[in-house]
């Protein structure tokens, strides 16, 4: 589904059909946490300009995006009673552009995961094969885009939470530069790594979405003052002379020959279009500690960010004979085992006696990794790698932050985009064993236009523009 397919002459029917489709798919996909009553939005739309960029477009939000008066759970039992009193900045932006919010999508609990198996409402299933995972943490949004419910769905990305499910579900996943989109009103995970992004099925729609969502917001001090271009107007697919670096550490770490073949075929097509594609080798020792470095930093920040979810100041409450008991009971029942484990790791690395040997050391390693990426992009326009080392696995075969040498680089390299804050995008590159696979691009800060231009050329080669899947019910 693309923006161009929206019938502006009968918006009500278009929106209601999108909701009807999402509800029909819910038993198979389990992608929605809350359906939104759209009547008030539709009435307001009647007084708006039909030329608005997202006029009447049904949009899905990841359930960590605050929506005034609408349940927002971040797929955690702890927030199962949380109804915000305000809209996130991006909700305001979407509505001002004419979009209609139709649903809140499932996610890994509090965004902490890469499988979408941990949501308190249950796992989200892949629309290409419902016995396989969607990926996470933005799995619900990815799935609803891939199934053709909506042309644009909002996600967030702290490690690869947009870009990996995009690959697993055969859609475009865009994580722009850190600060490009305001995070005001987003339930956080790790503040120095969190990005707001989105899914689409065409590069053209990805351009429109970023032009709508980007821009300075004084309520988010990390949001950028950088001017917002008209990405669609500047879009072109000319690859002539573009310098693109293959990070060979990543490709060498991938063992699936079919994914390697898919990647190599695309590289040859890019070369035929005039691109200069060369391999670069990064420090292998540094790349092998991406995941543990991320695990320390992200969970330390998460521990601080969610210290208020204690049943007293915030979140669902369990009874106890004292304030301390209420907090213990609420956090024990409110969070899954996996989340509690992350908080333990985060707290441990923040103990005064551990900060130098864990937290600050991880910060230094992060800086070294960013320097590696910067050095490559000083010479090249973008990097390119296979987004994942496999197709979407079955739940019993899925890995989530597994500290195994087999997966350390092949499955965690996209964290580099969060460590650096550089723009990074996954785009479909074909199919392996009837399941979608994708490639990942990364460019210099605020050079999203290069990603879009390269993406358009790739889209032309693959013929996958607007591709969605009919879910077998």
Q: 93 catalytic, yes or no?
A: no
Residues 6+ apart with CB under 8 A from 325: none
Tell me how crowded residue 82 is: count the other CB atoms within 10 A of its CB.
17
Distance CA 182, CA 159 (A): 18
Q: CB–CB of 150/141 below 8 Å?
A: no
Q: 211 catalytic, yes or no?
A: no
Distance CA 326, CA 311 (A): 7
Q: Which residues pair with 60 in a beta bridge?
A: 103, 153
Distance CA 284, CA 303 (A): 30
Q: What is the DSSP string of 169-217?
A: HTSEEEE--TTSS--TTBPPS-TTT-EEEEEESSHHHHHHHHHHH-S--
Q: 137 catalytic, yes or no?
A: yes
Residue tagged active-site, from 75, 106, 118, 137: 137
Distance CA 426, CA 411 (A): 14
Closest CA to 52 of 211, 199, 227: 211
CA angle 265/270/274 to nearest 5° reads 145
Q: How far is CA 337 from CA 109, 126, 333, 395, in A?
A: 11, 24, 9, 17
Closest CA to 404 of 291, 248, 265: 291
Residue tagged active-site, from 21, 62, 93, 242: 62
Distance CA 152, CA 144 (A): 9
Residue tagged active-site, from 138, 161, 202, 349: 161
Closest CA to 440 of 468, 419, 460, 416: 416
Which residues belong to the active site?
62, 137, 161
């Amino acid at each position: 589904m693309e923006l161009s397919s929206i019938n502006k002459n009968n918006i009500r029917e278009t929106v209601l059909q999108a909701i009807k489709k999402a509800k029909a798919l819910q038993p198979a996909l389990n992608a929605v946490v809350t359906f939104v009553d759209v009547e008030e939005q539709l009435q307001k739309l009647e007084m708006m300009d039909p030329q608005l960029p997202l006029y009447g477009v049904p949009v899905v939000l990841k359930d960590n995006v605050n929506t005034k008066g609408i349940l927002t759970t971040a797929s955690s039992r702890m927030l199962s009673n949380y109804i915000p009193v305000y809209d996130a900045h991006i909700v305001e932006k979407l509505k001002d552009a004419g979009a209609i919010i139709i649903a809140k999508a499932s996610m890994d609990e509090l965004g902490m995961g890469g499988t979408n198996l941990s949501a308190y409402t249950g796992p989200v299933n892949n629309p290409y094969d419902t016995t396989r995972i969607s990926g996470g943490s933005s799995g619900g949004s990815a799935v609803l885009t891939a199934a053709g419910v909506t042309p644009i769905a909002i996600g967030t990305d702290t490690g690869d939470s947009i870009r990996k499910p995009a690959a697993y579900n055969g859609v475009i996943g865009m994580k722009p530069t850190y600060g490009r989109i305001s995070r005001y009103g987003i339930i956080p995970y790790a503040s120095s790594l969190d990005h707001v992004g989105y899914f689409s099925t065409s590069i053209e729609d990805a351009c429109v979405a970023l032009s709508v969502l980007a821009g300075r917001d004084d309520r988010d001090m990390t949001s950028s003052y950088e001017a917002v271009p008209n990405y669609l107007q500047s879009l072109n697919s000319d690859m002539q002379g573009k310098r693109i670096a293959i990070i060979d550490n990543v490709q060498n770490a991938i063992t699936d020959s079919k994914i390697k073949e898919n990647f190599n075929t695309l590289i040859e097509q890019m070369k035929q279009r005039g691109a200069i594609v060369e391999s670069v080798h990064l420090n292998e020792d540094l790349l092998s500690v991406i995941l543990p470095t991320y695990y320390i930093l992200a969970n330390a920040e998460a521990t601080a960010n969610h210290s208020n979810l204690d049943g007293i100041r915030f979140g669902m409450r369990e009874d106890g004979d004292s304030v301390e008991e209420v907090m213990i009971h609420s956090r024990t029942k409110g969070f899954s085992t996996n989340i509690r484990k992350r908080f333990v790791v985060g707290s441990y690395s923040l103990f005064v006696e551990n900060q130098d040997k864990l937290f600050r050391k991880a910060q230094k390693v992060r800086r070294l990794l960013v320097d590696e990426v910067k050095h490559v992009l000083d010479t090249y326009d973008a990097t390119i790698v296979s987004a994942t080392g496999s197709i979407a696995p079955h739940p019993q075969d899925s890995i989530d932050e597994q500290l195994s040498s087999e997966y350390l680089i092949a499955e965690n390299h996209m964290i580099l985009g969060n460590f650096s804050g550089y723009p990074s995008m996954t785009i479909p590159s074909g199919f392996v064993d009837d399941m979608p696979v994708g490639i990942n691009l990364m460019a210099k800060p605020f050079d999203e236009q290069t990603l879009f231009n390269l993406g358009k050329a790739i889209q032309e080669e693959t013929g996958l523009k607007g591709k969605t899947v009919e879910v077998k019910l």
